[in-house]
Amino acid sequence: MLIASASALLVSFVLSAETLQLARHPGAALACDVNSVISCSTVANSWQSEFIRVGALSFPNAFFGIAAESVFVAVAVMGLVRITFPRWFAVAAWAGNLLAVLYAVWLFTQSVFVIQALCPWCLGLLASSLLQFMAASHATFAVQEIPRKNKAVHMYYHLNIDLLVDLLIFALFTGIIFVKYGAALLG
């Protein structure tokens, strides 16, 4: 979880820097603009990249990523030093990870099906968020045994069924990208 959270934090910093770059130089191309399909600036200039608004102010998603991933890095470090969290905290941290991965998946669907462009940094953030959620789920359900004495959950994690499901999830997202944009990515 620490590696995934730290990676997601780094990507959030990069995306924030790119957001500031576009704010300073509207219409500029970003370093990760390769073609019409792989285009960070296309994604960054969409309403989905900063849809949270308070009055006339809008906030880039990457800024929220910095805040959230900083918390997830701290939780991962505490887990590595074997701090046992109260059950309510473990459930709240898992729920936060669930919200983060759902947000990343929503952004992925918007990028692929609505914006019709891919941002490599955003894909990295999706991968990191998925890994982070998978690690948090394992820690919550297998290590801390929440919920307690649930044989189905215990078997799911201790027989490593979760690893197979995790691989299938990554294969699904990769398959979606290649089915939708394979020719443009390979040619």
- Cis bond upstream, residue 147 (ω within 30): yes
pLDDT tens, position by position, 61-119: 899 999 999 999 999 999 899 888 899 999 999 999 999 999 999 999 999 999 999 99
**What per-residue string of b and e applies to 17-53 under the rule 16 or more CB within 10 Å gives b?**
ebbeebeeeeeeebebbeeeebbbbbbbbbebbbeee
The confidence score (pLDDT) of residue 139 equals 87
- Count CA atoms closer than 13 A to 55's CA, side-chain side: 1
CA dihedral 37, 42, 46, 49 (to 10 degrees): 90
The total domain count for the chain is 1
User: Which is nearest to 94 in space by CA: 149, 132, 151, 150?
Assistant: 132
Q: For the whole model, what pTM was predicted?
A: 0.89
The confidence score (pLDDT) of residue 187 equals 59
Q: Which domain holds residue 121?
A: 1-186
